[in-house]
Amino acid sequence: MKLARNILLVDDEPSWLRSLAITLNRLVPEAQIDTCIDSRQVDNRLALNDYALVLLDLTMPFHSGENLLEMIRSKSPKTRVIIVTGVNEVDTAVRCIKHGAYDYFIKTDNVDNLARTVRRALEVVGLERNYLMIKERFLSRTLAHPQAFNNILTCEPALLDQFSYLEAVAMSPEPILICGESGTGKDEFAKSCHQLTCPDEPFINIKLAGVNYDAFELQLFGKITSHADGQVSAQAGALHHVHTGLLYLNEIGDLPLEAQAKLVDVIEHKQYYPVGSDRPYPVNCKIIASTQHDLLTLNREGKFRSDLLYRLTSHKIKLPPLRERKLDLSMLINHFINLAANKMGLEAPQQPRNLASQLADYEFPGNLHELKGMVFDGVSRSDGIQLNITPFMEAMNERNNGVIKPKDSISYPKELPTLAEMSQALIDEAMSRTANNQTAAARMLGISQSALSRRMKTDK
Ligand SMILES: Nc1ncnc2c1ncn2[C@@H]1O[C@H](COP(=O)(O)OP(=O)(O)OP(=O)(O)O)[C@@H](O)[C@H]1O
């Protein structure tokens, strides 16, 4: 989102007006400055331009600054006013602040202080306008870009609300955090945000589970190496490749603490240093993060930095688990049937009429990953006419029988396998049951995704 940057300087002294404009142009180069010498023109100028800030003299012919202050605050409440005057009276200053002035300066005050206040006021106006825009868009409840959500099927009000919210905050300069259990559609929401913000720019998905600090630094920032012969070689990181696109930081809760500190720097200062370089490079991309963990709990346990937590939670999207979206079941099953049949080159089988109601009490611990896996399995076993429901029945039976007792259900060969072989077999089984989804497989095995990823790497 573009920050409001235009400022109107109002004063009847031409020489002061000129010198103030020159000073502010130098000290606040991001601002766009207009001047107005005739107090009767202020109303008109505000009607023609959406000023973020007005710097107002108090004693002028025709209209006094105090009258103009009241007029501006009532007609243009989104515009802030700073009084800049030769009148050094406490009573007047107090009255102006009471009537809504952002600050009060005497003309003899240090201009650096004035410039600092102007910059801060521009930031405040930017934040206020951003907040108002989000509120207005969210309350309107209509989607301006419904096609951005084409991949997310739902008729659940809770999820439809999240569409409106994402659309409202998508253009905000702050990062967005998507929370939800594994398989609730976090990746799909990140892709929708990309469609909403910068569809023609790159979308880069960085999986942070199991990534250590060095790998994170290299992957995100890249590396610049100066060789002995004076040559310099560079390895570009994701922040370079993504340019003005969208950077999706997947499973941010798994990021090591040191790497979290680096990320705070990126978000806060909008710049980064490649490994081996002391030259900063600008960050121009949109940042989205996702987590299936509760970051507040991780923070209380000392595993997640507070500064990163607060920066990430300005815009938070919470995705409900599939067990709370039963209205969607039948539609999702049909969607996955068509997807599976298409992929397998088969005729799409029919969904049995009462399947969704039979699944009403099933919890779907693996959410949409699990449902998708079941439907794909059911399609591959189907007779081409009706979806085979064995995978669904098996899952429900396992639940109904409570936790499976390994002793009862595992039969061991005469010669016992080693622990390593057994662990590998379990990992293979979990990966196959979850259609190779590491997050869901880790959940099934009762370990973290990073632990599973490490085991898979060491087992290779
Ligand atoms: N509402 C939906 N409609 C159709 N398909 C969906 C929907 N939500 C998710 N999916 C599909 O379900 C699967 C899981 O979704 P996704 O990968 O976005 O979940 P996730 O929360 O990011 O999972 P993880 O935490 O494991 O990365 C994907 O194949 C995705 O395309």
Percent of the chain with pLDDT over 70: 95
217 is a domain residue: yes
47 and 114 together in one domain: yes
We report the CATH number of the domain holding residue 358 as: 1.10.8.60
**Looking at residues 117-128, what average pLDDT do you find?**
85
Q: Which of 349, 365, 400 is the last residue of a domain?
A: 400
Between 258-262, 299-303, 325-329, 410-414, the lowest mean confidence (pLDDT) is in: 410-414
345 and 428 together in one domain: no
- State which of 327, 369, 450, 453 you would mutate to test the pocket of ligand 1, scoring each by most atoms of that ligand within 8 A of its C-beta: 369
Q: Which of 135, 160, 193 is the last residue of a domain?
A: 135
pLDDT at 89: 83
Q: Which of 371, 400, 429 is the last residue of a domain?
A: 400
121 and 236 together in one domain: no
pLDDT(140) > 70:
no
pLDDT-derived band at 407, boundaries 50, 70, 90: very low
156 is a domain residue: no
64 and 76 together in one domain: yes
| Pocket lining: 437 vs ligand 1, CB cutoff 6 Å | yes
Q: What angle do CA 355, 439, 437 make, to 5 degrees?
A: 65
56 is a domain residue: yes
Mean pLDDT score of the chain, rounded to an integer?
89
pLDDT at 396: 84
**Looking at residues 239-248, what average pLDDT do you find?**
96
**Looking at residues 144-162, what average pLDDT do you find?**
89
334 and 278 together in one domain: no
315 and 207 together in one domain: yes
pLDDT(182) > 80:
yes
Q: How far apart are CA 114 and CA 361, in angstroms?
A: 64
**Looking at residues 154-178, what average pLDDT do you find?**
90
10 and 68 together in one domain: yes
| Strand ordering across the sheet containing 6-10 | 32-36, 6-10, 53-56, 80-85, 103-106
| Pocket lining: 311 vs ligand 1, CB cutoff 6 Å | no
pLDDT(435) > 90:
no
Question: pLDDT (tens digit, 9 = 90+) per residue, 345-393?
Answer: 999 999 998 898 889 889 999 999 999 999 999 999 998 889 999 999 8
The answer to whether residues 289 and 178 touch, using CB atoms and an 8 Å cutoff, is yes
pLDDT(138) > 80:
no
Nearest residue by C-alpha to atom 12 in ligand 1: 368
370 and 384 together in one domain: yes
Percent of the chain with pLDDT over 90: 56
pLDDT at 412: 66
Residue 337 Cα to ligand 1 middle (Å): 15
pLDDT at 1: 42
| Pocket lining: 366 vs ligand 1, CB cutoff 6 Å | no
Q: How many distinct structural domains can be found in the chain?
A: 4
Round the CA-based radius of gyration of the chain to a whole number and report it: 29
371 and 433 together in one domain: no
| Pocket lining: 292 vs ligand 1, CB cutoff 6 Å | yes
370 or 116, higher pLDDT: 370
290 and 268 together in one domain: yes
430 is a domain residue: yes
pLDDT-derived band at 112, boundaries 50, 70, 90: confident
pLDDT(273) > 70:
yes
pLDDT at 366: 94
Question: pLDDT (tens digit, 9 = 90+) per residue, 20-49?
Answer: 899 888 888 888 999 999 999 999 999 998
147 is a domain residue: no
Give the domain range for residue 395.
Answer: 323-400
We report the CATH number of the domain holding residue 301 as: 3.40.50.300
We report the CATH number of the domain holding residue 430 as: 1.10.10.60
pLDDT at 85: 87
pTM of the model: 0.65
Name the residue among 303, 439, 419 with its Cα closest to residue 453.
439
| Pocket lining: 443 vs ligand 1, CB cutoff 6 Å | no
Phi and psi at residue 199, to the nearest 5°: -60, -25
**Looking at residues 80-95, what average pLDDT do you find?**
88
25 is a domain residue: yes
167 is a domain residue: no
pLDDT at 404: 46
Question: pLDDT (tens digit, 9 = 90+) per residue, 53-66?
Answer: 999 999 899 899 99
pLDDT at 2: 46
Question: pLDDT (tens digit, 9 = 90+) per residue, 443-454?
Answer: 888 888 888 888
206 is a domain residue: yes
Nearest atom in ligand 1 to the alpha carbon of residue 250 is 27
Residue 205 Cα to ligand 1 middle (Å): 14
311 and 369 together in one domain: no
120 and 216 together in one domain: no
| Pocket lining: 188 vs ligand 1, CB cutoff 6 Å | yes
